[in-house]
C-alpha cells in the first residue's frame, strides 16, 4: 500500500485551482509560444443580418417607450453548474433572448444594456441605445484559446467576435470588461440628479451584486429599487403576450418538429411495450432524439405516462412499463433553435385501439377542448376558455353519475367538485417559455382580453387515480389530456397543432397506418 503524502505545496494550493491538476499541461513561455504559432488565417466570415434582428429592434423600442430616461439591464445569465466542473448546456434567459434575438448557444455572461438617450433620439426612434456586452472569442495567441475550458476555442469551438454579433443582430457590441462602468456610471438617487437603473434580477448574481453595490454606494433605497425591478420584469413579460410574425413562425416550426416527434413515438411504441421495465423511457428517448436533431432541446421534461402514471400531472420520472390495453399520455415539446417551444399532449392507446371506457373519457376531454377552442376568440377573456372547458366536463361527469352535486352546483365558485378530476388550468401562454409571460399582471393574463397574435395552449384533461374510490372501478387508473397550441387570429383562431390527429378515430387510423407502413408491426 502506498502511503499518501501531502506536500506543503498541495496544502496551500487553492481548491479552485486543483481542477487543473489533472491536465498536466505545461505552463512555460515556450509552450505558449508554440501553441500560438502556425495556424492558418481564418477567413473573415461573411455575416448575414439575422431575420430576427429587426423584430428584436422593434421589441426594444417598445420597452424603451415604457422606461424613458432610465438604464435597463438584462443579463443572459451564466452557465449553470450541474455538478463539480460540469455545466448544463447554456440557455439564455428568455427576456434577454426576446430583446436580442439571440438563440441557441448565445452567450453566457452576456448583458444587454439599454442606455437612455434623448426622447426619440435612440435606436429605431426610441429613447435608448442598446449595447450587448459579452465575452468575445479570444485570439489563438492567447492562453484562453487552449487553457480555458469554458470559453476557449480549443474546448468549446469558435465563438463570435464583437463584429460578427454586431453585424448579425444589429446591436452595438462591447467586451464584457466594460460592463461595470456601463452599468454603474452616473447612477444614483434621481432626486439628486442620478440615473435610475432597472435590472432583471436573479438571472446573473454577479450583475445583481454589481447593481446592488452601486445602489448602496450611491444611497439608492434598495426596497423601492426592488419594486422598480419588478415592474421591468412585469413589462418584459407583458411585451410577450402578443407574438410578432417572427415569433409565430418560430412557434410553427417548434410545433412541426414536435409533431414529427410524436410520429417517432408511435414508431417506437411496439418496442417500448416489449421492454420489461422502462418502456416509458424509450418513449421519452425517441422524442428527445427528435428534439435534438430538429431543434435545440426539449422545451420542458417530457411526460411519458402509461396507465395510472397518467394521473400524475407532471410524471417525468418515466420509470414505468408501457402496457398494451392501457393508454399512454405523452406531453412533450421541441424547443426550436430560436428557443421557442411547442407544448402538445396526446393520449394514445398503446395497442392502437381505445377500449369503450377509454374512448368515453377521451371523447369528454375532446369535447371540452373543442368548447374551449370556440371560446378562444378575440374579445373574450382568457378565463372564458377555461370556463367553457369546465362546463363540458362538469356536465359529462354529472351524466356519468360521478358528481356528488348537480353540475350547476359544481360549476359555482363554492362548488368545483369536478376539479377533483381536472385540478390544473386549461390554458397558459406559450412562447420562449413553456409557461410564457408568467410575470404579467393578472388583469392582462387570466382576466385579460384575448387578442390576435396571442398563442396559448388548450389542454383539458380527466384524471381518475387507481385509488379513487369516488369513481367506479372501470374509470380507475385512466388519465387523459389533449393539449393543442392555438394562435388567435383577427376573427377566431388557428390550431397550430392540428396536424397531429385528435379524435379517437383519427388517432387509431394514424397509429395503425404508421405501423402498417412499417411491415405490419402490431404490439397487441
Binding residues for Mn ion, rule: CB under 5 A, are 331, 343, 457, 483
Give the CA dihedral 307, 358, 510, 281, nearest 10 degrees: -10
With contact defined as beta carbons under 8 Å apart, do 261 and 334 qualify? Answer: yes
Residues 453-472 interacting with ligand GLY (rule: CB under 6 A): 459
Q: Which three cell numbers stand for residue 268?
A: 417506437
First to last CA, the chain: 59
Least distance in angstroms from the C-beta of 36 to Mn ion: 51
Q: Select from ligand GLY, Mn ion, none the partner in contact with residue 258, using the beta carbon and a kind-dependent cut-off of 5 to 8 Å.
A: none
In terms of CB distance, is 110 or 344 closer to ligand GLY? 344
Q: Select from Mn ion, ligand GLY, none the partner in contact with residue 253, using the beta carbon and a kind-dependent cut-off of 5 to 8 Å.
A: none
In terms of CB distance, is 252 or 429 closer to ligand GLY? 429
Residues 407, 95: Cα–Cα separation, whole Å: 42
Residue 297 as a binder of ligand GLY (CB under 6 A): the answer is: no
In terms of CB distance, is 313 or 470 closer to Mn ion? 313
Q: Select from Mn ion, ligand GLY, none the partner in contact with residue 335, using the beta carbon and a kind-dependent cut-off of 5 to 8 Å.
A: none
Residue 300 as a binder of ligand GLY (CB under 6 A): the answer is: yes
Q: Select from Mn ion, ligand GLY, none the partner in contact with residue 250, using the beta carbon and a kind-dependent cut-off of 5 to 8 Å.
A: none
In terms of CB distance, is 250 or 457 closer to Mn ion? 457
Residue 436 as a binder of ligand GLY (CB under 6 A): the answer is: no
Strands 111-116, 478-481: pairing is unpaired
Sequence length of the chain is 524
Strands 172-175, 86-87: pairing is unpaired
In terms of CB distance, is 114 or 486 closer to ligand GLY? 486
Q: Select from ligand GLY, Mn ion, none the partner in contact with residue 204, using the beta carbon and a kind-dependent cut-off of 5 to 8 Å.
A: none
Q: Select from Mn ion, ligand GLY, none the partner in contact with residue 484, using the beta carbon and a kind-dependent cut-off of 5 to 8 Å.
A: none
In terms of CB distance, is 145 or 456 closer to ligand GLY? 456
With contact defined as beta carbons under 8 Å apart, do 475 and 464 qualify? Answer: yes
With contact defined as beta carbons under 8 Å apart, do 494 and 331 qualify? Answer: no
Pick from 331, 436, 468, 485: which binds ligand GLY (CB under 6 A)?
Answer: 331
Residues 344, 299: Cα–Cα separation, whole Å: 11
Pick from 164, 343, 398, 436: which binds ligand GLY (CB under 6 A)?
Answer: 343
Residues 388, 367: Cα–Cα separation, whole Å: 10
Residues 335, 163: Cα–Cα separation, whole Å: 28
Written in H, E and C, the secondary structure of 90-137 is: CCCCHHHHHHHCCCCCCCCCCEEEEEECCCCCCHHHCCEEEEEEECCC
- Residue 451 is given by DSSP the state -
Q: Select from ligand GLY, Mn ion, none the partner in contact with residue 300, using the beta carbon and a kind-dependent cut-off of 5 to 8 Å.
A: ligand GLY
328: left (phi over 0), alpha (psi -120 to 50) or beta: beta
Residue 247 as a binder of ligand GLY (CB under 6 A): the answer is: no
Count of CB atoms situated within 10 Å of the CB of 504: 18
Site string for ligand GLY, 375-414 (x = CB under 6 A): ----------------------------------------
Site string for ligand GLY, 23-52 (x = CB under 6 A): ------------------------------
Residues 360, 370: Cα–Cα separation, whole Å: 15
Least distance in angstroms from the C-beta of 255 to Mn ion: 12
Q: Which residue has the cell 405501423?
A: 515
Residues 398, 410: Cα–Cα separation, whole Å: 9
Least distance in angstroms from the C-beta of 427 to ligand GLY: 9
Least distance in angstroms from the C-beta of 483 to ligand GLY: 6
Binding site for ligand GLY (CB under 6 A): 300, 331, 343, 428, 434, 459, 483
Amino acid at each position: 500500500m502506498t502511503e499518501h503524502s501531502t506536500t506543503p505545496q498541495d496544502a496551500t494550493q487553492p481548491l479552485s485551482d486543483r481542477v487543473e491538476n489533472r491536465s498536466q499541461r505545461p505552463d512555460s513561455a515556450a509552450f505558449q509560444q508554440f501553441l500560438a504559432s502556425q495556424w492558418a488565417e481564418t477567413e473573415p466570415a461573411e455575416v448575414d443580418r439575422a431575420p430576427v434582428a429587426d423584430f428584436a429592434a422593434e421589441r426594444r423600442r417598445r420597452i424603451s417607450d415604457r422606461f424613458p430616461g432610465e438604464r435597463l439591464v438584462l443579463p443572459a445569465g451564466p452557465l449553470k453548474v450541474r455538478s463539480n466542473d460540469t455545466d448544463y448546456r447554456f440557455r439564455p434567459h428568455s427576456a434577454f433572448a426576446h430583446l436580442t434575438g439571440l438563440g441557441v448557444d448565445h452567450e453566457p455572461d452576456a448583458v444587454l444594456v439599454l442606455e437612455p438617450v434623448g426622447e426619440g433620439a435612440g435606436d429605431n426612434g426610441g429613447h435608448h441605445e442598446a449595447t450587448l456586452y459579452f465575452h468575445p472569442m479570444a485570439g489563438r495567441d492567447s492562453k484562453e484559446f487552449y487553457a480555458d475550458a469554458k470559453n476557449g476555442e480549443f474546448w468549446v469551438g469558435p465563438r463570435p467576435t464583437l463584429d460578427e454579433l454586431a453585424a448579425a443582430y444589429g446591436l452595438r457590441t462591447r467586451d464584457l470588461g466594460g460592463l461595470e462602468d456601463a452599468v454603474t456610471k452616473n447612477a444614483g438617487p434621481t432626486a439628486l440628479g442620478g440615473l435610475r437603473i432597472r435590472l432583471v434580477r436573479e438571472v446573473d448574481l454577479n450583475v445583481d451584486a454589481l447593481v446592488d453595490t452601486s445602489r448602496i454606494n450611491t444611497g439608492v433605497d434598495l426596497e423601492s429599487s426592488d419594486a422598480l425591478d419588478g415592474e421591468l420584469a412585469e413589462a418584459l413579460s407583458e411585451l410577450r403576450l402578443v407574438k410578432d410574425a417572427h415569433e409565430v413562425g418560430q412557434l410553427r416550426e417548434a410545433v412541426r418538429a414536435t409533431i414529427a416527434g410524436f410520429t417517432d413515438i408511435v414508431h417506437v411504441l411496439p418496442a417500448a411495450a416489449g421492454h420489461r421495465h422502462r418502456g416509458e423511457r424509450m418513449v421519452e428517448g425517441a422524442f428527445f432524439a427528435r428534439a435534438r436533431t430538429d431543434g435545440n432541446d426539449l422545451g420542458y421534461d417530457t411526460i411519458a405516462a402509461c396507465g395510472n402514471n397518467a394521473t400524475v400531472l407532471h410524471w417525468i420520472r418515466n420509470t414505468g412499463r408501457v402496457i398494451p390495453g392501457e393508454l399512454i399520455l405523452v406531453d412533450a415539446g421541441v424547443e426550436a433553435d430560436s428557443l421557442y417551444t411547442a407544448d402538445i399532449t396526446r393520449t394514445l392507446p398503446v395497442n392502437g385501439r381505445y377500449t369503450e371506457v377509454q374512448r368515453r373519457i377521451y371523447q369528454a376531454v375532446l369535447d371540452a377542448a373543442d368548447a374551449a377552442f370556440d371560446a378562444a376568440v378575440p374579445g373574450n377573456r382568457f378565463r372564458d376558455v377555461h370556463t367553457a372547458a369546465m362546463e363540458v366536463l362538469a356536465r359529462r361527469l354529472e351524466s356519468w353519475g360521478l358528481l356528488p352535486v348537480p353540475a350547476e352546483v359544481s360549476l359555482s365558485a363554492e362548488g368545483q367538485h369536478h376539479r377533483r378530476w381536472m385540478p390544473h388550468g386549461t390554458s397558459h401562454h406559450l412562447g420562449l417559455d413553456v409557461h410564457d409571460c408568467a410575470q404579467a399582471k393578472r388583469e392582462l393574463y387570466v382576466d385579460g382580453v384575448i387578442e390576435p397574435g396571442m398563442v396559448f395552449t388548450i389542454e383539458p384533461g380527466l384524471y381518475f387515480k387507481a385509488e379513487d374510490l369516488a369513481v367506479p372501478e372501470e374509470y380507475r387508473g385512466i388519465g387523459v389530456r389533449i393539449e393543442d397550441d392555438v394562435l388567435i387570429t383577427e376573427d377566431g383562431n388557428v390550431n397550430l397543432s392540428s396536424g397531429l390527429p385528435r379524435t379517437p378515430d383519427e388517432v387509431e387510423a394514424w397509429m395503425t397506418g404508421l405501423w402498417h407502413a412499417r411491415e405490419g408491426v402490431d404490439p397487441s
